[in-house]
């Protein structure tokens, strides 16, 4: 069993993507132009959670719980403000639109061996719901807080050792 630190992970924003009636696959992101969002401090969390659907069975005096629709939630990204970073500028511009954008998260978990090891990735579409700045106190780095409302499944691509 291997454990990996979040340090070294990279987040990218792509172009607009239309929602689908079925799950996305890695092929749906082929040919995408990715722009890295730099100076990441926190990537938040990402992944599906099912809504609770409750049914009260009168004759059993028991509440039955079912799984309803899934939501990948909102990924709260924090980065140090960089006024000339193309990725941050793209996220700020995306917040001003009603569209979903492609996102790619590349983790720092490439296998230690193999001829061309590659790290695992997560790809999804999301609306940029906010791009707010936090200034805090004198002894702080000014931050850009980006909220990504994930509107698709999260495509998981496993790390590989290569050829």
User: What predicted TM-score, i.e. pTM, was given to this entire model?
Assistant: 0.92
**Under 8 Å between Cβ of 6 and 108:** yes
User: For position 15, what pLDDT does the model report?
Assistant: 98
Cα(154)–Cα(73) distance, integer angstroms: 11
Taking only the tens place, the pLDDT of each residue in 38-72 is 999 999 999 999 999 999 999 999 999 999 999 99
Taking only the tens place, the pLDDT of each residue in 9-42 is 999 999 999 999 999 999 999 999 999 999 999 9
Taking only the tens place, the pLDDT of each residue in 112-143 is 877 788 999 999 999 999 999 999 999 999 99
**Under 8 Å between Cβ of 104 and 119:** no
User: For position 116, what pLDDT does the model report?
Assistant: 80
Name the CATH code of domain 10-157 (choices 1.10.540, 4.10.410, 2.60.40, 1.10.3470). Answer: 4.10.410
Pairing relationship of beta strands 155-157 and 100-106 according to DSSP bridges: unpaired
């Amino acid at each position: 069993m291997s454990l990996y630190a979040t340090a070294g992970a990279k987040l990218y924003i792509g172009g607009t993507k239309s929602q689908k009636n079925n799950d996305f696959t890695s092929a749906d992101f082929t040919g995408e132009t990715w722009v890295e969002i730099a100076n990441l401090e926190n990537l938040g969390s990402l992944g599906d959670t099912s809504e609770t659907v409750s049914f009260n069975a009168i004759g059993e005096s028991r509440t039955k719980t079912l799984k309803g629709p899934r939501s990948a939630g909102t990924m709260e990204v924090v980065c140090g403000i960089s006024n000339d970073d193309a990725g941050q500028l793209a996220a700020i511009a995306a917040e001003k639109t009603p569209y979903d954008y492609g996102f790619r998260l590349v983790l720092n978990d490439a296998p230690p061996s193999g001829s061309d090891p590659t790290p695992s990735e997560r790809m999804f579409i999301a609306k940029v719901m906010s791009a707010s700045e936090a200034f805090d106190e004198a002894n702080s780095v000014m931050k850009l807080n980006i909220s990504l409302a994930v509107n698709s499944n999260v495509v998981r691509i496993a790390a590989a050792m290569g050829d």
